[in-house]
Amino acid sequence: MYSILAYISPMKRWLLVPAIVLFSTSAFAQIDSIQTEIGKAKADTNKVNLYIKAFGLTKNSAPEKAEGFAKQAIALGEKLNFKNGLMNIYRDYGSFLDIQGTYDESQVHLDKGMAIAVKLKDKSRMGSFSIAMGILQYDQGKFTEALKLILQSLKYREEANDVKGIADSYIWLGVINEKGLNKNEEALKYYRGALGTYRKAGMEDRMAYAYNNIGNVYYNTNKFDSSLHYYMKSLDIKKKNPDPFQLGSAYNNIANVYTDLRDYTQALKYYDTALSYKEQSEDYAGIATHYINVGLVYSHMKNYPQAEKMILKGLELSKKNNFPGIILPAYEALSQIAAAQGDYKKAYEYNAEFAKRKDSAFNKDVAQQMADMQTKYDTEKKDLEISKKTLELNKKRVQMGILIGSFIVLAILGYLFYNRYKLKKQQELDAELIKQRELRTKAIIEAEEKERIRIARELHDGVGQQISAVKLNMNAFADKIQQGEENKEQYAAIMDMVDDAVKEVRSVSHNMMPNALIRFGLAKAVREFIDKIAATGALKVDLQIIGLNDRLESTTETVLYRVMQETVSNIIKHAGASNISIQLIKDADSLTMMIEDNGKGFDTRKISEYGGIGLKNIISRVEYLNGTVDFDSFPGRGTTVVVELSFNPDLKDS
């Protein structure tokens, strides 16, 4: 079977908009109230703002009425030269027209708003218009242009120190890379950047979106355990400020993961919870999709009668509300279910309906493309006529320019050839220096680990055995000591000191090279290390290990253990934290280690200024494994350390 997600393109706005506006009786009463105010208001800036507010309340429920409010706001705003109000309505109306598919008109209004923002040197508003223009390009499938505009919005917002805007730009950079350019790794970096920025700003509700989008990337790449982990973190935040639409989406995402993991019992459980929230928010498209998805789960379970029943419910709701993107996969699913039950007549009928609707949708797309091509042709024809007139005027200039240009080009080529030769030699030298540095780092780390093992063995087998021998000899000598009360106490005190020495030697030896790491691997060693810290009662430690069932290559295990040990040691020494959360998540070809604390944090921009070797050790060890390490911290808001490795799953200890 397939997933309905293959047919339904992602909603464009859910990533940044908290919820769909629901128009209850009270909402309509609010619109009536504003219309009354508009009727009484003087033709001033307040009336422009009332028009803008009325537009915002009606743009989802009554688009035609909203358009009227927008045009009235623009007309009065232009008459009054009310720049602030004009920027607001140009941006909001431009985005509205984008969603309606009126792309050219949308661009006109966004350009007008940007012109005002540029004139006022309002960097925050310039960033807002740049991101709206980027989304407009994204919606037209022009992903490279969209990327440039969103990057420009990020620059403006950084200049304006618009923290929320910066994070929102990161989100959209992630969306374009994920959905448009299929660059999941790039998308993941931007989503993590948004997460860190939202965290620094204390915007927990926005962190939920970042977690959700990180989960989407892992879901796209079939890393379902990681996807589930981040979807759950998103859900935990959304539960604090319950919004039916957002909770419905969150539970639905988790159900999708359980479906792909073939845990159909859990999938149905989460789908049922999602349905209750979708009904509360009157998300009819979501409800219709729910019935199709549940039907597919029953189909996987080979409960075909129940599968058909669910999909028919989804189909009926989709027809009633005209959801063509859901109707199409519903007919195909029904065809396959009928065939699985041996009802080939019904399977043929459903498939014929599917094919007819698919062809209709295709023809509609072709017609739209033809209209777009005709418009493009007409525009290019006009441009060609203008260019012919200017061509003759420029012909003589071009001929003279060619002569001068040829001389300049020859000179430049000579310079470039020489410069390229120098650059090549410099690159070769830099590559050799990097190689030598990597070899030195590798040699230092390997030598350090060998020395740890040697010292640990000498402590355990040498010093430890000698102290144990001393204890045995003293036990044998005990009967020969004069049995005075004072002698007994002295003897007992000496034996206690010997016992403490044995324990200390064992502890130092174990810390230098844990026996659990050598015998059982990384997961066991980390659990043992954390249990010892938790036993002191000084810190509350939450440990989650997902997917780490098999041994990794021994050097990788050792380095990761040392990074974890060094990070936790830094937290204990410097952070003043009361809680630590550690997650180890392994997929088929990657591993992520995330360590979070609620301590005092630090300024990551000054990371190179810190004199200690702890952070440098962590960075060099991760680089040795060709991994990446990210320090996400801010004074007063704790620290998150994320280590990510890509590796060959076949390289395991034998």
**What pLDDT sits at residue 480?**
60
Q: How many C-alpha atoms does 288 have within 13 Å on its Cβ side? A: 21
Task: Tell me the average pLDDT across 192-208.
Answer: 90
**What pLDDT sits at residue 86?**
95
Residue 30 lies in a domain: no
Check whether 370 has a pLDDT greater than 80: no
**333-347, 394-408, 595-609, 623-637: lowest mean pLDDT where?**
394-408
The per-residue pLDDT for range 38-51, each reduced to its tens digit, is 888 899 999 999 99
**What pLDDT sits at residue 15?**
33
Environment class of 424 (CB within 10 Å of its CB; exposed 0-12, middle 13-18, buried 19+): exposed
Check whether 507 has a pLDDT greater than 60: no
| Amino acid residing at 639 | T
371-380 per-residue burial string, b: 16 or more CB within 10 A, e: under 16: eeeeeeeeee
**What pLDDT sits at residue 219?**
93
Task: Judge contact between 154 and 176, C-beta under 8 A.
Answer: no
Query: pLDDT band at 273, cuts 50/70/90?
Result: very high
Q: Which residue has the higher pLDDT, 637 or 90?
A: 90
**72-86, 153-167, 208-222, 339-353: lowest mean pLDDT where?**
339-353
Which CATH number characterizes residue 635's domain?
A: 3.30.565.10
Query: pLDDT band at 82, cuts 50/70/90?
Result: very high
The per-residue pLDDT for range 444-480, each reduced to its tens digit, is 555 555 555 556 555 555 555 566 666 666 666 666 6
- The pair of structure tokens assigned to 90 is 């140009």
- The pair of structure tokens assigned to 570 is 């830094």
Query: pLDDT band at 514, cuts 50/70/90?
Result: low
Proportion of the chain above pLDDT 90, given as a percent: 35
Q: Please report where in the chains the tokens 């002295």 appear, as a residue.
A: 490
Task: Judge contact between 179 and 219, C-beta under 8 A.
Answer: no
Neighbours of 183 (CB within 10 A): 15
Task: Judge contact between 87 and 111, C-beta under 8 A.
Answer: no
Residue 600 lies in a domain: yes
Selection from 110-119, 348-357, 631-640 with the highest mean pLDDT: 110-119
Print the domain residue range for 526: 520-646
Residue 7 lies in a domain: no
Q: Which residue has the higher pLDDT, 422 or 318?
A: 318
Question: What CA–CA distance (Å, rounded) separates 447 from 454?
Answer: 10
Q: Which residue has the higher pLDDT, 369 or 566?
A: 566
Average pLDDT, the chain: 80
Proportion of the chain above pLDDT 70, given as a percent: 73
Residue 469 lies in a domain: no
**478-492, 521-535, 557-571: lowest mean pLDDT where?**
478-492
Task: Tell me the average pLDDT across 378-404.
Answer: 62
Neighbours of 345 (CB within 10 A): 8
Q: Which residue has the higher pLDDT, 525 or 97?
A: 97
Task: Tell me the average pLDDT across 4-16.
Answer: 35
Task: Tell me the average pLDDT across 104-125.
Answer: 95
Residue 628 lies in a domain: yes
Q: Which residue has the higher pLDDT, 13 or 204?
A: 204
**1-15, 49-63, 182-196, 266-280: lowest mean pLDDT where?**
1-15
Query: pLDDT band at 2, cuts 50/70/90?
Result: very low
Question: What CA–CA distance (Å, rounded) separates 458 from 509?
Answer: 9
Q: In what order do the strands lie in the sheet with 590-597?
A: 540-546, 579-586, 590-597, 639-646, 628-633
Task: Tell me the average pLDDT across 191-197.
Answer: 91
Q: Please report where in the chains the tokens 């036990």 appear, as a residue.
A: 475
**What pLDDT sits at residue 49?**
93
Task: Tell me the average pLDDT across 370-394.
Answer: 54
Task: Tell me the average pLDDT across 282-310.
Answer: 91
Environment class of 221 (CB within 10 Å of its CB; exposed 0-12, middle 13-18, buried 19+): middle
What are the DSSP E strand ranges found in 480-624?
540-546, 579-586, 590-597
Indicate the length of the chain as a whole number.
654
Query: pLDDT band at 190, cuts 50/70/90?
Result: very high
**305-309, 331-335, 410-414: lowest mean pLDDT where?**
410-414
**What pLDDT sits at residue 386?**
54
Continuous H helices in 458-521: 464-477, 485-512, 515-519
The per-residue pLDDT for range 558-590, each reduced to its tens digit, is 888 888 888 888 888 888 888 899 999 888 888
**What pLDDT sits at residue 482?**
55
Nearest one of 241, 261, 201, 226 to 19, comparing CA atoms:
241
Check whether 158 has a pLDDT greater than 80: yes
- Angle (nearest 5°) at CA 171 between 167 and 174: 135
Residue 354 lies in a domain: no
Number of domains in the chain: 1
Q: Which phi and psi (to 5°) does residue 581 adopt?
A: -120, 125
Task: Judge contact between 213 and 230, C-beta under 8 A.
Answer: no
**What pLDDT sits at residue 272?**
94
Question: Checking DSSP bridges between strand 639-646 and strand 628-633, what pairing results, if any?
Answer: antiparallel
Question: Checking DSSP bridges between strand 579-586 and strand 540-546, what pairing results, if any?
Answer: parallel
Residue 387 lies in a domain: no
DSSP designation for 162: -
Question: What CA–CA distance (Å, rounded) separates 200 from 9?
Answer: 33
Environment class of 64 (CB within 10 Å of its CB; exposed 0-12, middle 13-18, buried 19+): exposed
- The pair of structure tokens assigned to 282 is 């009157």
Selection from 56-70, 202-216, 324-338, 401-415 with the highest mean pLDDT: 202-216
Residue 627 lies in a domain: yes
3-state secondary structure of 147: helix
pTM exceeding 0.95: no
Question: What CA–CA distance (Å, rounded) separates 226 from 235?
Answer: 14
Check whether 437 has a pLDDT greater than 60: no
3-state secondary structure of 179: helix
Q: How many C-alpha atoms does 395 have within 13 Å on its Cβ side? A: 6
Nearest one of 200, 216, 181 to 15, comparing CA atoms:
216
Check whether 199 has a pLDDT greater than 50: yes
The kind and range of the H/E element at 4 are none
Check whether 23 has a pLDDT greater than 50: no
